Structure formats: structure tokens, C-alpha cells
A and B are shown apart, each in its own frame.
Chain A
Amino acid sequence: MDAETDLSTLLTSVAEGDRAALRAVYERQSVRLFGVANAILRDRDTAADALQDAFIRIARRAAQFDATRGAPEAWLGAIVRHAALDIIRARGREVPTDDPALGDQAVAPEAEERLSASVEGQRLRHCLDGLEPKNRDGIILAFVHGLSHPQIAERLGTPLGTVKSWIRRGLQSLKECLA
């Protein structure tokens, strides 16, 4: 398992039950992925639970990863996000939303740099910049921080129905912009 083996190859080995390959995936990706879970759960213990669940899913579903249809980082990130979302849904989304680190700083300068590090990220950032600010914030609060429609409405001081239609329209605009 040398340092040159790429993630897609590692996942192929994971699908064959190779524990060392799974460990290599963990070693390379766990810092990024723990951050993804912790952004949603905002509690290190629970984020660790989410990452544990996610790696069990990764071990069991690695055969479903198809390198021709997307980057392994995106596939791993989606599994971690959904594992974290399952946990906050099970808890009735009781994660506090008055955390000052949310929303206003959702797109802090260094975070913008990380977003712009990839070509896809740059394109998405360009398209997000074309949205109304509150619309963009709503999408980021949902995707990055796992906020529900009512939580976003509360956070942005906007009626729930408005938030729902904004997000729907915003997603549609992003799709058109990225096409």
C-alpha cells in the first residue's frame, strides 16, 4: 500500500475485503471527513460515531463505487454526510443552531480557498455567487451544516415557505449554471 496508490484503486481493494486498503483510505481521508461530519454535528463524540458508521458503510459498499462516474473523494464525502445526517435526523435535529460559527462565517476566506482548490469547486463557487446571498447561505447551511428548512428559516429570519421555495429555486439555478 504505497503512497502512490490512488484512492480509486484503494477502494477497489476495499471491495475485495482488504482491511489494509480501508485503513489507508482512513489515514488519507479521515481528517477531511471528520471535518465534514463535525460541521454537521458540531460535537466531536457524535462526529466520531458518524465517521465510524461511515467507514462501516464504506467497507460494505465499496463495490458500488464507480470511478468512471465520480471522484472517490466525492463518494466518500457523500457517505459521511449521509451518516451524519442520519444521526441528526434520529435526534430530531436538536443540534444547536445558534452557534455563532454558523452562517455568517459559513464561507470564511480560508474555506473559500479550499472550495476554489478544485476546478469543480471554482465553477460551483462562481454559480453560488450568482444566487441571492440568503439563497446561497441557505444552501450552504443545509449542505455543510445539516440544517433543516425550519432551522434555516429561523437562522435567516425568513418565513419557512419562503426558505423552501428559495432553496428549490436556488438548486435549479445551480443546476442550470453548472450544466
Chain B
Amino acid sequence: MIPTDPVERDALAAEYVLGTLDARAARQVEQAMETDAALREMVAAWEARLSPLTALAVPEAPPPGLWGRIATTLDRPAAPAPAAARASPFWRFWALGASMVAAGLAALLLLRPVPEERLMTVLLTQRDQPAWLVEADGGALRLASLNPQPVPADRVMQLWALPQGATAPTSLGLIPAAQGRLTVTPSSIRPEPGMLIEISLEPPGGSPTGRPTGPVLFIGRLAAARGA
């Protein structure tokens, strides 16, 4: 929470600029700045005080292709477009009824005591039907299928995470066949707000390239559940 005491607010602004806040606190400051002009002023004043320190970083030429990457990204639509992946016919028919299941689960979650901000999302099909409930638990992700469906015999489902700012998703492993629930604990990344979670259809053994090769079946973005 953003403190009301001016001294504490200024100390928070200073540590935000210094970079020592954790992801959650930094995000709270950024969100508060959107509406809190005084906090924005404090942050701007700290940026002005400390910015000369960037001169201590050793200047270094970026990789030659980087401007091209930036220009390409700017030419793309702003949001990731999972719908761009070709629909795989087998799952098109089963999402009926899943939204009712999802509504029930959401209510259950709301009835549970919530000690702190919870990160969760519902992975949607390309037709925006809920398919998986995903909840972060510390460094782990718990997944529950809202309507388990068989995967074609010659295909597997692979789970991916794309942290905000990352350019390539990280594989979190294969989803065991016919399993409606699983918990994964990624070693290299940590669940965070804004992280994209997606499940793609891949050949047996998983994507041979380290990136999704098949259609993205389900996708969602982790967000903090509020108001509970």
C-alpha cells in the first residue's frame, strides 16, 4: 500500500527510483502514480537527483540488429494475438458449458479468505472460452482444467510462460495426458503480474525448437485478483 505519511511516501519514491522495491511494490507505485500527482512529483524529483549515476554504467554498442527488432515490434499490433494461430479442429467443440464451470469456480475463490494479493488467470480458447484456471502460489503455478478433453494421440500439450518484456516464452514442460490438475514450479522464472501463460499443441516430446511450434490452444495473462 502507498503510505500517507509524507516522509514515508518520499522514502518509497526514492526506493522505487533506486530500484530496490520488489516487483509487487514497484507495480503498486507505478499504478499509484497514474492518479497520484504528488507521488509522481516525488518520483520525478528522485529521478532527477539520481540520474547522473547512469554515467557510471560503461557505454556499449548494442547488437547490430536491435533497431530492426524495435521497428518490427512497433509495426505489430499492441497486444499479443493468440487468435493468429490456426485453430485446431478437435477442441473447437468442447468448450460449451465451461464458462458455467468457470463462474462456479470464480465464486468459490471469492468466498475463500484471501490473505494477500493472488495472481491468477483463466486460460481462454481462441473463442474466448475458459479452459484452464491458473493460480500462482509463490514460485509455483497450479493449473486446473475446467473441462478436460483428450489430445490427439500424436500430439502433446506444452505449457509456456512469457514474462512481460521477454521476447521468447519459456517452456514449463508438457502437460500429462488426461490430467486435469497439475502444479509446476519453474526454476528460471517466477510468476508475476502481466505474465502470459499459454498452452500449445506440439509433437510428442514437446517442441523441437524451444519455442511453440503448434497452435496456441489456450492463453491468459496473470493478474492480481482483487476485492476478495
* Contact A91-B190, Cβ < 8 Å, known A77-B51, A114-B56, A174-B49: yes
Chain B positions 150 through 182: 1 when the CB is less than 8 Å from some CB of chain A, otherwise 0: 000000000000011111000000000000000
Enumerate chain A residues within 8 angstroms of B73, measured Cβ to Cβ.
52, 56
Distance of A117 Cα from B209 Cα, bound (Å): 47
Interface size on B, residues (CB 8 A): 47
User: Of the 9-residue stretches B13-21, B105-113, B129-137, which lies at the interface with chain A?
Assistant: B13-21
Cβ–Cβ < 8 Å partners of B166 in chain A = 49, 87, 90
Q: Looking at the complex, which one of B47, B55, B190 makes contact with A70 (CB distance below 8 Å)?
A: B47
* A-contacting residues, B15-33, CB 8 Å: 15, 17-20, 22-23, 26
Could you tell me if A90 and B57 are in contact, using CB atoms closer than 8 angstroms? no
- Among the stretches B58-66, B115-123, B140-148, B199-207, the one at the interface with A is B58-66
- A144 nearest in chain B by CB position: B56
CB of A26 within 8 A of CB of B67, answer yes
The verdict on B98 contacting chain A, using a C-beta distance below 8 Å, is: no
CB distance from B216 to the nearest CB of A (A): 21
A62 is an interface residue with CB less than 8 A from chain B: no
Interface secondary structure of A, over-half rule: helix
> Is B163 within 8 A of A111, CB to CB?
no
Taking Cβ atoms with an 8 Å cutoff, the residues of B that contact A are 10-11, 14-15, 17-20, 22-23, 26, 44, 47-63, 66-67, 69-71, 73-74, 139, 163-167, 188-190, 192, 195
Q: Which residues from chain A contact B14 at a C-beta distance below 8 Å?
A: 168, 171, 175
Number of residues in A with C-beta < 8 Å to the partner? 68
**B190: which A residues are within 8 A, CB to CB?**
90-92
Q: Contact between B55 and A142 (Cβ–Cβ < 8 Å)? A: no
Q: In chain A between 124 and 179, which residues have their CB closer than 8 angstroms to a CB of chain B?
A: 124-125, 139-140, 142-144, 146, 148-149, 167-168, 171-172, 174-175, 178
A7 at the interface (CB under 8 A from B): no
Report the nearest B residue to A179, measured CB to CB.
B49
Report the bound CA distance from A114 to B61 in whole Å: 17
CB <8 Å contact, A51 and B62:
yes
Contact bitstring A68-104, B, C-beta under 8 A = 1, else 0:
0111011101100101011101111010000000000
Partner of A39, one of B20, B58, B61: B58
Supply 14 further A-B pairs (C-beta < 8 A) apart from A78-B51, A171-B11: A38-B60, A44-B63, A49-B166, A51-B70, A52-B73, A70-B44, A77-B54, A89-B23, A90-B189, A91-B163, A114-B55, A117-B55, A121-B55, A171-B18
Residues of B within 8 A of A70 (CB): 44, 47-48, 51
Question: Are A23 and B67 in touch, CB under 8 angstroms?
Answer: yes
Complex: A94 Cα to B17 Cα, angstroms: 20
In the complex, the answer to whether B57 meets A39 with C-beta atoms within 8 Å is yes
B189 CB contact (under 8 Å) in A75, A92, A117, A121: A92
Docked-complex contact A35 and B52, CB < 8 angstroms? no
